[in-house]
Amino acid sequence: MARKHLTGEFFMNGDIACAEGAISAGCRFFAGYPITPATEIAERMAERMPEVGGTFIQMEDEIASMAAILGASWAGAKSMTATSGPGFSLMMENIGLGIMMEAPCVVTDVQRAGPSTGLPTLVAQGDMMQARWGSHGCYSIIALSPSSAQEMYELTIRAFNLSEKYRLPVLLMADEAVAHMTEKVTIPPPEEIELYTRRKPDVPPQKYLPYLPGADLVPAMAIAGEGYGFHTTGLTHDEKGYPVMTAEEQEKLIRRLVEKIEVNKDDIIEYEEQGTEDAEVVVCSYGVSARISKFAVERARQEGIKAGMLKLVTVWPFPEGRIKRLAKKVKAFVVPEINCGQISLEVERCAGGAAKTIPVPHMGGSVHHPDTILDAIRKAAR
């Protein structure tokens, strides 16, 4: 008997939880290419897609995988790929195509240490800026960061919902530690899972303008084979979807692509706080680093330091407003992350000199030792 939707409590790793989250979200097309430490997602999808009536295909590379999920998205499927750094680099061009064509899909990047082949089996968080800016040109993106296997499950669903709602590739920026960590995952029954599906056109084909934005700046999306006869392109285009090679159209289109994220950011941005009400030092972290940070914050509190925690769930768009408000009342931000300091620059920019920003960089291969973070908190509190 084929398993459809799993419901209950499971002991599973983050990669498997991600695949199950995709299935819960309605993903029925997965294209991917083997790469450590994301391979288990493809393996799980190879097993599970046929069980739920979906399609799994192992493509010839990550470029093809990204292209295939865009095609599947236009055929009406919720689609996904999963990769790690080297594959993420290869996907960049077609992520840009997804942004320009406004094709909903989800890309999971299980981060490992780079650059290049780096440490294929070991943890890092070095792709955070690549997630933001990796494809050429100017655009906005949505990226989420899970800290547990449970969040791998839940944020994959959220990534699909956001991609369908705002019509763009949404990035799930996981890391090797979270993806390979096996822990309890609770999967609710399907009827308790809130799902969002792209808005379809409510006008006949002759009146349909594929890129006419709605009030939320997102256009309604026709899919292939339903008689709409639409055209879509990676070129700068007008509301008909036709290429227009002018500065004016570029201004209009790119502004809208950026603003559709900007005006909806209250719906998109999520973070968790702990002890920030009276905190003098706020540790701002994400992914596996947020778990270790939380431990260090609790220890600091035991020592009498007024420490708090700001865990980023949505990393892009960046919770600029929250950092700005906190900066007015705290002494310093401490930013542990497994890279040379990517998100710390963003925190520093948002703090705008009102509070100090102390990066706690770690080059990858392991997670931070809690004492390293605790030391940074102690110094910041002085």
Partner 1 sequence: MSRINLNHKHPMDAYLRTDRIPHIWCPGCGIGTVLEVFLTGLLKSGLALDKVVIVSGIGCTGRVAGYIKLDSFHTTHGRALPFATGLKLANPELKVVVFSGDGDLFSIGGNHFIHAARRNVDMTVLCVNNFTYGMTGGQAAPTTPLTARSTTSPYGNYEQPFNIPYLAAASGAVYVARWTAVHVRRLETSITEALLKKGFSLVEAISPCPTVYGRMNRQPTGLDHMKYYRENSIIKHDADPREVDIEQNGKIIVGKFVDIERPTFSDIQAQVLGKTFGAEAVATGAKRK
Contacts with partner 1 by CB under 8 A lie at 2, 26, 28-29, 31, 50-55, 57, 59-61, 63-65, 67-77, 79, 93-94, 96-97, 101, 224-235, 240, 242-243
User: Cα(318)–Cα(322) distance, rounded to whole angstroms?
Assistant: 9
Q: How far apart are CA 40 and CA 46, in angstroms?
A: 10
> CA–CA distance from 304 to each of 148, 277, 280 (Å)?
28, 15, 11
Nearer to partner 1, 68 or 124 (CB): 68
| Distance (Å, whole) CA 288 – CA 175 | 7
As a whole number of angstroms, the distance between CA 109 and CA 18 comes to 11
In the complex, the smallest distance separating the C-beta of residue 224 from partner 1, rounded to whole angstroms, is: 4
By beta-carbon proximity to partner 1, the closer residue of 243 and 352 is 243
Q: How far is the CB of 157 from partner 1 (least distance, A)?
A: 16
**Nearer to partner 1 among residue 80 and residue 144 (C-beta):** 80
What is d(CA 120, CA 111) in angstroms, rounded to the nearest whole number?
Answer: 9
In this complex, which beta carbon is closest to partner 1, that of residue 34 or of residue 50?
A: 50
Answer whether 44's CB lies under 8 Å from 16's CB: yes
Bridge partner residues of 284 (DSSP)? 310
- Phi, psi dihedral angles at 280 (to 5 degrees): -100, -30
241 contacts: CB under 8 Å, gap ≥ 6:
209, 210, 211, 230, 231, 232, 233
CB of 296 to partner 1, least distance (A): 44
Q: Which CB, 26 or 37, lies closer to partner 1?
A: 26
- Tell me, what amino acid is at 250? Q
Question: Least separation, in Å, of the C-beta of 178 and partner 1?
Answer: 28
- In the chain, the amino acid numbered 166 is Y
Nearer to partner 1, 62 or 346 (CB): 62
* CB neighbours of residue 42 within 10 Å: 24
> Minimal distance in Å, beta carbon 232 to partner 1?
6
Please return the burial class of 353, using the count of CB atoms within 10 Å of its CB with bins 0-12, 13-18 and 19+.
Answer: exposed
Least Å distance, CB 335 to partner 1, is: 35
> Which CB sits closer to partner 1, 97 or 258?
97
Our CB check for partner 1 shows the closer of 229 and 352 to be 229
Report, in Å, the least distance between residue 1 CB and partner 1: 10
CB of 309 to partner 1, least distance (A): 40
Whole-Å CA distances, 308 to 106, 133, 274, 275, 290:
32, 30, 6, 4, 12
Question: Closest approach of Cβ 307 to partner 1, in Å?
Answer: 47
State CA 344 to chain mean position distance: 18
Distances from the Cα of 353 to the Cαs of 18, 199, 356, 382, in angstroms? 38, 42, 7, 18
Nearer to partner 1, 65 or 150 (CB): 65
